[in-house]
Amino acid sequence: MNVRRGDVVLVLYPFASGRGASRRPALVIQNNRDNERLDNTIIAQITTNMRHVNDPTQLLIPQDAPEGQQAGVLHNSVVSCNNLATVHEDRIHRVIGHLPEAVMSRIDECLKAALGLR
């Protein structure tokens, strides 16, 4: 499946333990050049767990806001930039939405905070 940076996908997201996975939304954060030439992509987990929503590594995506509607989320959600995974394209079920460049710029800031790149 050909995905683009900013796509919100429904994916079989691996558990951190390496044992098992769950089907959930995630955000494609890998650059488009690599998305075109590789069979895997880097994604950030999207969750409804609001416990750390004010952390600089998290970005709130309100379901009723324009970015929530564009993302295709069904609930208020958080992009968790400290919960990343690399998945093979066959684990991606489908694209459910896309975040605009302005929101992806905010995601970049969350990724910098998560990876200590400030």
The CATH number linked to 34 is 2.30.30.110
Using alpha carbons, select from 49, 46, 47, 34 the residue that is nearest to residue 4.
Answer: 34
Write out the residue range of the structural domain in which residue 75 sits.
7-115
Residue 53 covered by a domain: yes
CB atoms within 10 A of CB 77: 24
How many structural domains does the chain have?
Answer: 1
pTM confidence score: 0.94
- The one-letter code for the residue type at 43 is I
What mean pLDDT comes out for the span 29-42? 96
pLDDT at residue 117 above 80? yes
- Whether residue 98 is contained in a domain is answered as yes
On average, the pLDDT of the chain sits at: 94
Confirm whether 2 is domain-assigned.
no
pLDDT digits (tens, 9 = 90+) for 44-87: 999 999 998 899 999 999 999 999 999 999 999 999 999 999 99
